[in-house]
Amino acid sequence: MTTTQQAGKQDLSWLDDVTMTELERNPYPTYERLRREAPLAFVPVLGSYVASTAEICREVATSPDFEAVITPAGGRTFGHPAIIGVNGDIHADLRGMVEPQLQPAEVDSWVDDLVRPIARNYVEQFEDRGRAELVAEYCEPVSVRSLGDLLGLQSVSSDKLREWFHKLSVSFTNAGVDENGEFTNPDGFTPGDEARAEIQAVVDPLIDRWIEHPENTAISHWLHDGMPPGKTRDREYIYPTIYVYLLGAMQEPGHGMASTLVGLFSRPEQMEEVVDDPSLLPRAISEGMRWTSPIWSATARISTTPVTITGVDLPAGTPVILSYGSANHDTGKYDAPTAYDLHRPPLPHLAFGAGNHACAGIYYANQVMRIGLEELLEAIPNLERDTGEGVEFWGWGFRGPTSLHSTWEV
């Protein structure tokens, strides 16, 4: 199929020239054009159809004519059965495995005691210095340490947890394919393979212990909850979902915090409002998640029957990548979507997905971000971006600032 043929009247041959480097560096121009010219289109470098508007992303995510499928690079990274790419009884079991610890009432019972001491510890390490690189020194460490402790990985350093999620991200987003559907960079999966081997070397002994002596950790609960007495889930069955958590669930709150800070730095008067009234933080975070969605284009669906979406006929078995980060910049839904605006009307966004595969940890992630930013801005209310350093965002599947240099008067 050529892009001219698949578009019918619309010539989309320009999509043949789109590269993964271009999408990783800045996907917005490509997706702005897609939303305008072909909101559901086949993108050759991805080897898949791509949904780019809020309406189509939501329609595909919630349609009974589609079910979840993991992208080829995601499947190569996580293995089977990863919670984001399965359906039916397996999906129901995996959601039933992870969701009890993530219900709002349950999260409220422990999240403050978990996250606030971690956030305070990291703030104390630099608050008297007058400057910090907040992605590496605060946002990512608070995110990975909180989830690591929840999972039961207290023995793993925050630096190692960050290393794991960055390596898994490199592998998961190694999505480029040639005209035969073969990966153009097979070596791009090496970092993920290295991370998985290290993770298993650490987690296997813990699983051995938790099988015999259950503890109040998430992974221990995953082994035992809902199983007949004396039975546990096989480790091979839960490992793909552990990898999902060690990438997506570790990445999302950290990059959500960082993107929210960049947005607030772009509107100093709104930063001042949030510092003066921390009750505005949930709204600030929601806008940050819309403005730069941490999970930008990492989920997909596959048609289970021939279906027509926005005039495009899709045979059964056609994958569609859901670009939620593009949907959250849809000018048909949001005014001036490229701007961060705390006072934007509170419309729902798709940063956490939609349908029965929407993120299971929405409430938990929002609480981690809220507590993290509360502690940071309470300790350093005069926080400013270091204008001598630029802010570069990176990523197509997962997106966030690569660094955020900040200063303040001590």
Q: Decide if domain 2-407 falls under CATH 3.40.50.1220.
A: no
Helix (H) or strand (E) holding 178: none
Phi, psi of 330, rounded to the nearest 5 degrees: -70, 115
How far is residue 82's CA from residue 237's CA, in Å, rounded to a whole number? Answer: 9
Each residue's pLDDT tens digit, 332-388: 999 999 999 999 998 899 999 999 999 999 999 999 999 999 999 999 999 999 999
**What per-residue confidence (pLDDT) applies to 3?**
54
**What per-residue confidence (pLDDT) applies to 5?**
42
**What per-residue confidence (pLDDT) applies to 346?**
84
Res. 9 pLDDT band, cuts 50 70 90 = low
Each residue's pLDDT tens digit, 286-298: 999 999 999 999 9
328 Cβ contact list (under 8 Å, min separation 6) = 54, 289, 290, 291, 293, 334, 337, 349, 350, 351
Strand pairing report for 384-385 and 405-407: antiparallel
Task: Provide long-range contacts, Cβ within 8 A and 24+ apart, for 229-233.
Answer: 233/97
**Which stretches does DSSP call E strand in 61-174?**
66-69, 131-133
pTM above 0.85, yes or no: yes
Q: Are 57 and 354 in contact (CB under 8 A)?
A: yes
- Nearest residue to 289 via CA among 249, 349, 344: 349
User: Domain residue spans in the chain?
Assistant: 2-407
Q: Are 145 and 163 in contact (CB under 8 A)?
A: no
- Chain centroid to CA 34: how far? 22
**What per-residue confidence (pLDDT) applies to 10?**
78
Q: Is the pLDDT of residue 134 over 50?
A: yes
**What end-to-end distance do the CA atoms of the chain give, in Å?**
61
How far is residue 67's CA from residue 299's CA, in Å, rounded to a whole number? Answer: 11
- Nearest residue to 140 via CA among 160, 154, 156: 160
Q: Are 151 and 218 in contact (CB under 8 A)?
A: yes
Res. 121 pLDDT band, cuts 50 70 90 = very high
Mean predicted lDDT score pLDDT of the chain: 96
Each residue's pLDDT tens digit, 31-54: 999 999 999 999 999 999 999 999
